[in-house]
Chain A
Amino acid sequence: MSAPFDTVQRTATISVLVDNEAGVLARVVGLFSGRGYNIDSLTVATVDAEHQRSRINIVTSGTDMIIEQIKAQLGRVVPIHRIADLTLDGPHIAREMAMIKVIATGDNRIEALRMADAFRARIVDATAGSFIFEITGATEKLDAFLELMRPLGLAEVSRTGIAAIARGTHTI
């Protein structure tokens, strides 16, 4: 089958540099919902206050044709200046942070601490009956840690979604 009917899905991490103006996030999110594209993760923050630029990192999935279409559609948005498909462009680093509340006592509390140590999660809050762990890393690492915490008293999770950047001298 030719490309229009390609069914092989891939994940893409796309970073865009936008003018930091009202409605720009709504434009990006509306584009995804209006055209039926997936958003697996989305982060946005100002990265250049002087030039009023923000960076949006989006993790999406689809066939190659869909991903190309997403990038082309993003390219039409006036306040978007640069678009990088980090997955396609070469090696990149993607990280996210999570704060994880575990409510546990006794053996479970001790086990949670041991696992947090193994995963290099930091304790940012502790009470007699709870911990909040802060963990940073690749999405898979966070997922793995959460799975381990689940039977030990996992009570609440707050995740940032990924921030991503290309390796080496290459910039967006």
Chain B
Amino acid sequence: MAEPTQSGAEILLRALKDQDVEVIFGYPGGAVLPIYDAIFNQNAIRHILVRHEQAAVHAAEGYARSTGRVGVVLVTSGPGATNAVTGLVDALMDSIPIICLTGQVPTHLIGNDAFQEADTTGITRPATKHNYLVRKSSDLARVVHEAFHVARTGRPGPVVIDLPKDILIAPAPYMEAGPATQARYNPRTEPDPAQIRRAVALMKEARRPVIYTGGGVINAGPEASELLCELVRLTGFPCTSTLMGLGAYPAKDPLFLGMLGMHGTYEANLAMHGSDMLLNVGARFDDRVTGRLNAFCPDAKKIHIDIDPSSINKNISVDVPIIADATAALRALVAAWKQDNATPHTAAIAGWWQQIDTWRGKESLRFTQDFRPGSIIKPQYAIQRLYEITQELGRETYISTEVGQHQMWAAQHFHFTKPNRWMTSGGLGTMGYGLPAAMGVQIAYPDALVIDIAGEASILMNIQEMGTLAQYRLPVKVFILNNEYMGMVRQWQELLHGSRYSESYSTALPDFVKLADSFHATGLRARTIDELDGVIREMLTTDRAVIADIAVDPKENVYPMIPSGAAHNEMILGPEHETAEQSSRTASATDAGLALV
């Protein structure tokens, strides 16, 4: 082999380019200066300068979730790396493919408590799918290619590559990506045909079936969503989705029951509870979905499709496990359903739909908006209008959220018809996720409408990214449902802690209109119902970043709700549905919930 003529930093960028990287979200520092110097000398890869390393990871997540590509992050050693950790765990929990390049002190200083040294691989080991410390120049290119393969293959996730400064400076040889950089990691993606036959046999026997889908369908790519629609229409089975899976199946379709779980619809949760056959596609029986495990779908035969064998039989033991990529499994199920000669129990399923329709009749998401001038805005109504007006405009719309009540209302009242349009922190529940995630989406789709549905508390956790929006002229819309509370905390304090609002009120809030102005964005405010539509329209038609501060009813809570530790059939409906029988059941269900999260 010829003597290497390029520095480690140049080899790194060459490898990124060969991995089709177009954009990096990062923040410079001493240990990564050689990389920034190499970035300065090229045009193939664009660098987006964020204002905090956590936001760099969330921005890369938003980019990855909306495009299906790998998001790339570049941060310096020490605090650069530790600031990125929250984003890495977020990506790990939600299975988002991320490459995070971290600077490190030179190899001869590692372990000496050098300036800005941290044990990055030690700290990020449980925060990543895999991580690397590159100790030899000759390993660099191979590690980068393998890292991309690991991040995007199987169940996707974040991968850290820790890069000592001397490795970046010294000349390094290049190596192309190929079989050698993929040999170590080859998870199974094709389903076992015998399990597919068993699954179809159970589906044909079903009288009260439900299809429950999750983020795995989104991660598998748009074809998985198409195949899911085909399967649902072919079978006529009701379909529900987790928070992570919204958009895989069109929300307005009559076969869709809405989201399930803690704040899912009445019909979705009762259909789960009453089902005799449950097909889970790419979801992981999360505690926010299952409720109390020993009362979960008590009569259902369970089929579970997941690419990660460790998700199967972790919380719920299933009758037919199918370890496969969702696209491959759904394709096989559609084909096997068509081939199978058994007739489904059409009459029984029609009866099941009648039952579901009576549950639907409850209108569990119902709320009452007072339209008299000067009335306070209901947060649900604000989202409903945001949805309706974006539909009128007809532009491609991407929604991100922060975490809390506004997130659940967004999931309930903003309806998605396509995958990859919904970016939310599901597993980790990271406040401060939405603004940087929206930024990442807007970088990927400069002409699309990108809206961060936020709360006034969450938005302050990464508000500094308004600076990034200004620098790159990203017209992200921040739609704040401002109830002057950490609303979800307050809701739980009402439910479980005698309404003692310990530290859950937002005090000394900034003036969001002036805040927008100081960050070179447009600030808007709606105080009453008569101002709402005007503010939404102005926000959506303004061609630059906007913060819309919407004052909403501070007392509103998210319903329906399955209290932690309760079963699907022990839902609490909202004040709209208040009856004596429900309030007594509420009391008993929440006592057990006290000890739970």
Q: Fill in one digit per residue for A1-25: 1 if any B CB lies within 8 Å of its CB, else 0.
A: 1111100000000000001001100
In the docked arrangement, what's the CA distance between A72 and B121, Å? Answer: 23
**CB within 8 Å for A23 and B150 given contacts A3-B317, A4-B315, A78-B185:** no
B122 interface residue per 8 A CB criterion: yes
Note all chain B residues with C-beta closer than 8 A to A27.
125
Note all chain A residues with C-beta closer than 8 A to B315.
4
Flag if B126 contacts A34 (CB, 8 Å): yes
Note all chain B residues with C-beta closer than 8 A to A151.
none
Flag if A5 contacts B294 (CB, 8 Å): yes
Closest chain A residue to B293, Cβ basis: A4
In the docked arrangement, what's the CA distance between A23 and B150, Å? Answer: 17
A65 interface residue per 8 A CB criterion: yes
Flag if B125 contacts A26 (CB, 8 Å): yes
Most chain-B Cβ atoms within 10 A of its Cβ — which of A1, A4, A34? Answer: A4
In the docked arrangement, what's the CA distance between A26 and B121, Å? Answer: 10
**CB within 8 Å for A68 and B126 given contacts A78-B185, A79-B184:** no
Note all chain B residues with C-beta closer than 8 A to A26.
122, 125
A69 interface residue per 8 A CB criterion: yes
Nearest chain B CB to A35 CB, angstrom units: 9
A91 interface residue per 8 A CB criterion: no
CB contact between B313 and one of A1, A5, A34, A69 (< 8 Å): that residue: A69
In the docked arrangement, what's the CA distance between A4 and B126, Å? Answer: 25
In the docked arrangement, what's the CA distance between A162 and B150, Å? Answer: 32
B51 interface residue per 8 A CB criterion: no
Flag if A65 contacts B313 (CB, 8 Å): yes
CB contact between A69 and one of B122, B126, B130, B310 (< 8 Å): that residue: B310
What size tier do the contact residues of chain B reach?
Answer: 20 to 34
Note all chain B residues with C-beta closer than 8 A to A23.
121-122, 125, 131, 133
Flag if A75 contacts B310 (CB, 8 Å): yes
Flag if A68 contacts B150 (CB, 8 Å): no
B10 interface residue per 8 A CB criterion: no
Closest chain B residue to A81, Cβ basis: B184
Nearest chain B CB to A75 CB, angstrom units: 6
B17 interface residue per 8 A CB criterion: no
Flag if B308 contacts A76 (CB, 8 Å): yes
CB contact between A73 and one of B121, B135, B310, B317 (< 8 Å): that residue: B310
Flag if A19 contacts B184 (CB, 8 Å): yes
B309 interface residue per 8 A CB criterion: yes
Flag if B310 contacts A76 (CB, 8 Å): yes
B461 interface residue per 8 A CB criterion: no
Note all chain B residues with C-beta closer than 8 A to A78.
129-130, 150, 184-185
Most chain-A Cβ atoms within 10 A of its Cβ — which of B131, B150, B309, B316? Answer: B309
Note all chain A residues with C-beta closer than 8 A to B125.
23, 26-27, 30
Q: Fill in one digit per residue for A41-76: 1 if any B CB lies within 8 Å of its CB, else 0.
A: 000000000000000000000000100110011011
CB contact between B309 and one of A1, A34, A75 (< 8 Å): that residue: A75
Most chain-A Cβ atoms within 10 A of its Cβ — which of B122, B155, B313, B316? Answer: B313
Flag if B150 contacts A22 (CB, 8 Å): no
B514 interface residue per 8 A CB criterion: no
In the docked arrangement, what's the CA distance between A76 and B92, Å? Answer: 13
In the docked arrangement, what's the CA distance between A68 and B313, Å? Answer: 8
Interface residues of B in 444-483 (CB under 8 A from A): none
Nearest chain B CB to A4 CB, angstrom units: 6
Note all chain B residues with C-beta closer than 8 A to A1.
294
In the docked arrangement, what's the CA distance between A81 and B183, Å? Answer: 11
Interface residues of B in 104-132 (CB under 8 A from A): 121-122, 125-126, 129-131
CB contact between A22 and one of B133, B184, B310 (< 8 Å): that residue: B133
Closest chain A residue to B122, Cβ basis: A26
In the docked arrangement, what's the CA distance between A145 and B213, Å? Answer: 57
In the docked arrangement, what's the CA distance between A22 and B150, Å? Answer: 18
Flag if A3 contacts B310 (CB, 8 Å): no
B227 interface residue per 8 A CB criterion: no
B314 interface residue per 8 A CB criterion: yes
Note all chain B residues with C-beta closer than 8 A to A30.
125-126
Note all chain A residues with C-beta closer than 8 A to B129.
76, 78
Nearest chain A CB to B135 CB, angstrom units: 8
B312 interface residue per 8 A CB criterion: yes
Most chain-B Cβ atoms within 10 A of its Cβ — which of A23, A30, A34? Answer: A23
Interface residues of B in 256-305 (CB under 8 A from A): 293-294
Closest chain A residue to B318, Cβ basis: A3
**CB within 8 Å for A4 and B130 given contacts A65-B313, A68-B313, A72-B309:** no
Closest chain A residue to B312, Cβ basis: A72
Q: Fill in one digit per residue for A145-168: 1 if any B CB lies within 8 Å of its CB, else 0.
A: 000000000000000000000000
**CB within 8 Å for A72 and B317 given contacts A4-B294, A22-B133, A30-B125:** no
Flag if B314 contacts A69 (CB, 8 Å): yes
Note all chain B residues with C-beta closer than 8 A to A77.
130
Note all chain B residues with C-beta closer than 8 A to A3.
313, 317
In the docked arrangement, what's the CA distance between A3 and B317, Å? Answer: 6
Note all chain A residues with C-beta closer than 8 A to B308.
72, 76
Note all chain A residues with C-beta closer than 8 A to B135.
22
Nearest chain A CB to B549 CB, angstrom units: 41
CB contact between B317 and one of A2, A22, A34 (< 8 Å): that residue: A2
In the docked arrangement, what's the CA distance between A120 and B141, Å? Answer: 54
Nearest chain B CB to A108 CB, angstrom units: 47
Interface residues of B in 134-157 (CB under 8 A from A): 135, 150, 155
Closest chain B residue to A75, Cβ basis: B309
Closest chain A residue to B155, Cβ basis: A76
Closest chain B residue to A22, Cβ basis: B133
Note all chain A residues with C-beta closer than 8 A to B316.
4
Nearest chain B CB to A3 CB, angstrom units: 4
Q: A4-B293, A19-B184, A77-B130 are in contact. List 17 more A-B contacts (CB 8 A).
A: A3-B317, A4-B315, A5-B294, A22-B133, A23-B121, A23-B131, A26-B122, A27-B125, A30-B125, A65-B313, A65-B317, A68-B313, A72-B308, A72-B312, A73-B310, A76-B308, A78-B130
The 7 tightest CB contacts between A and B, nearest first, are: A72-B310, A3-B317, A78-B130, A72-B309, A73-B310, A34-B126, A78-B185
- Can you give 9 contacting A-B residue pairs, CB < 8 Å? A1-B294, A3-B313, A3-B317, A4-B315, A23-B121, A23-B131, A69-B313, A72-B312, A78-B150
